[in-house]
């Protein structure tokens, strides 16, 4: 009689053990490729990444952006020093910012004299009537002062001053309406702002990082410039606005990813060492764990192309959940080695654990699929 056929599970285990070197080489190549893909994984901190592209909110935002070309600006806030020092600093920095290819135009000064010179353009009908009365009184006064015999009535000697006061009052009102006097600064606040309008919208992460870095480089170089009018003034300069916030937020998320991943790795290392009391066992489990994390990140790059604010720490979660199977398997192999050789111990461990571990992994995968599709 022929021997009964081996179960498919046992044949698979035997194949793995027989070709373990080839499988290891393939795993190393796959890890290298996955690591390369993972290195290109970008963090999309824009909250719109949490919604599908065909969502009405996203479509409305895109329509607004296409209509207004860009939303927001790179804002350089200059605080401290005297008004003259801030003005000199703004004059120097604004020109350098405008020379950047990523900057379309720069606003930091307002021709307030325009509002003063053209204050009469902003008069209401009633104010125009009042102005007409002042002009007629002034004209009558001037004419009567030169030719008294031609005047039927007495001229008002206060007419010139009244006209002058009226015009001055309207000029001051126009300046108050502008809110700024020449530079973008307000009375009583020792600060001014420079508004640099980039050529693209802040929703482009890489562009936001580039324009923020270029702007900060110009600001830092100007602040450190020796012999300038603002040297030693103690100016405090900040680069803010949606572009800078997006770039800083992305950098903070990346730092948090490294920090949390490092803590998770150290925590797993300590737990494994306390459990097995062997550095060899620790590295035996850590190497496939790190390979699995690399594969997960590489697959994310292929399927999604980015992580968002909510999923940026997924590598830490994968590290914590992915170590379970390795712990169960190594512990079972160690127990089987007390009565069998290495190959037999590995076979028995696979045979006893592969189905439960696959079921447990399937339930975890199902939970992640539900979360991803919800």
Angle formed at CA 80 by CA 74 and CA 81, multiple of 5 degrees: 120
Token couple for 333: 């192999």
In this predicted model, which residue has the larger pLDDT, 12 or 248? 248
Mean pLDDT of 300-320: 81
Token couple for 6: 């081996």
> Between the CA atoms of 20, 24, 30 and 32, what dihedral angle is there, to the nearest 10 degrees?
180
* pLDDT of 73 strictly over 70: yes
List the alpha helices (DSSP H) in the chain: 8-18, 20-39, 56-68, 83-98, 112-117, 125-146, 159-178, 205-223, 242-276, 279-303, 314-336, 342-373
* pLDDT of 5 strictly over 60: no
> Between the CA atoms of 274, 279, 280 and 286, what dihedral angle is there, to the nearest 10 degrees?
80
* pLDDT of 65 strictly over 90: no
Q: Looking only at Cα atoms, what is the longest distance across the chain?
A: 147
Question: What's the pLDDT score for residue 50?
Answer: 65
Encode pLDDT of 277-288 as tens digits.
889 989 989 999
Mean pLDDT of 183-201: 85
Say what percent of the chain tops pLDDT 70.
86
Mean pLDDT of 287-310: 86
* pLDDT of 60 strictly over 80: no
* pLDDT of 1 strictly over 50: no
* pLDDT of 216 strictly over 90: yes
- Of 20-29, 114-123, 208-217, 254-263, least confident by mean pLDDT is 114-123
pTM of structure? 0.65
Separation between Cα atoms, residue 97 and residue 111, nearest integer Å: 20
Is 155 in contact with 145 (CB distance < 8 Å)?
Answer: yes
The residue with tokens 């499988």 is: 23
Going across the sheet that includes 74-79, the strands are 103-107, 191-198, 74-79, 236-240
Q: Give every CB contact of residue 276 below 8 A, 6+ residues apart in sequence.
A: 282, 330, 334
Region of 241 on the Ramachandran plot (φ > 0 left; ψ -120 to 50 alpha; else beta): left
Is 136 in contact with 151 (CB distance < 8 Å)?
Answer: no
Encode pLDDT of 129-157 as tens digits.
888 888 888 887 777 877 777 677 777 88
Closest C-alpha among 249, 330, 228 to residue 43: 249
The C-alpha R_g of the chain, in whole angstroms, comes to: 37
In this predicted model, which residue has the larger pLDDT, 160 or 218? 218
Mean pLDDT of 199-203: 82
* pLDDT of 335 strictly over 60: yes
Separation between Cα atoms, residue 330 and residue 273, nearest integer Å: 13
Q: Quickly state the pLDDT bin for 29 (edges 50, 70, 90).
A: very high
Q: Quickly state the pLDDT bin for 32 (edges 50, 70, 90).
A: very high
Q: Quickly state the pLDDT bin for 75 (edges 50, 70, 90).
A: very high
What is the secondary structure of 210-245 as a DSSP string? HHHHHHHHHHHHHHT-TTSTTTTS--EEEEESHHHH
Question: Within 10 A of 183 (CB to CB), how many other CB atoms are there?
Answer: 19
Distances (CA, A) of 103 to 87, 100, 207, 281, 286: 21, 5, 11, 56, 47
């Amino acid at each position: 009689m022929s021997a009964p056929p081996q179960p498919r599970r046992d044949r698979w285990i035997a194949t793995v053990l027989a070709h373990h070197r080839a499988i290891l080489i393939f795993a190393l190549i796959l890890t290298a490729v996955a690591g390369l893909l993972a290195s290109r994984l970008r963090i999309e901190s824009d909250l719109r990444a949490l919604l599908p592209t065909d969502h009405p909110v996203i479509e409305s935002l895109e329509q607004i952006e296409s209509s207004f070309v860009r939303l927001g600006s790179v804002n350089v806030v200059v605080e401290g020093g005297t008004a003259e020092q801030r003005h000199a600093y703004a004059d120097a920095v604004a020109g350098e910012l405008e020379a950047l290819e990523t900057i379309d135009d720069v606003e930091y000064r307002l021709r307030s004299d325009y509002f003063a010179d053209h204050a009469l353009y902003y008069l209401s009908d009633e104010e125009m009537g009042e102005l007409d009365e002042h002009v007629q009184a002034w004209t009558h006064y001037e004419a009567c002062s030169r030719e008294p015999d031609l005047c039927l009535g007495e001229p008002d000697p206060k007419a010139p001053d009244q006209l002058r006061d009226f015009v001055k009052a309207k000029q001051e009102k126009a300046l108050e309406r502008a809110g700024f006097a020449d530079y973008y600064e307000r009375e009583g606040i020792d600060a001014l702002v420079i508004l640099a309008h980039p050529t693209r919208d802040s929703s482009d992460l890489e562009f936001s990082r580039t324009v923020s870095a270029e702007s900060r480089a110009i600001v830092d170089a100007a602040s450190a410039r020796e012999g300038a009018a603002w040297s030693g003034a103690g100016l405090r300069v900040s680069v803010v606005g949606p572009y800078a916030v997006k770039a800083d937020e992305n950098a903070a998320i990346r730092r948090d990813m490294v920090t949390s991943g490092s803590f998770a790795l150290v925590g797993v290392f300590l737990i494994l060492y306390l459990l097995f009391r062997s550095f060899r066992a620790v590295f035996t489990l850590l190497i496939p764990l790190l390979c699995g994390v690399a594969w997960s990140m590489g697959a994310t790059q292929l399927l999604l192309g980015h992580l968002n604010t909510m999923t940026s720490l997924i590598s830490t979660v994968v590290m914590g959940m992915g170590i379970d199977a390795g712990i169960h398997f190594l512990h079972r192999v160690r127990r089987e080695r007390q009565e069998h050789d290495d190959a037999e111990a590995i076979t028995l461990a696979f045979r006893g654990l592969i189905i439960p571990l696959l079921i447990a992994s399937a339930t975890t995968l199902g939970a992640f699929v539900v979360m991803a599709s919800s």
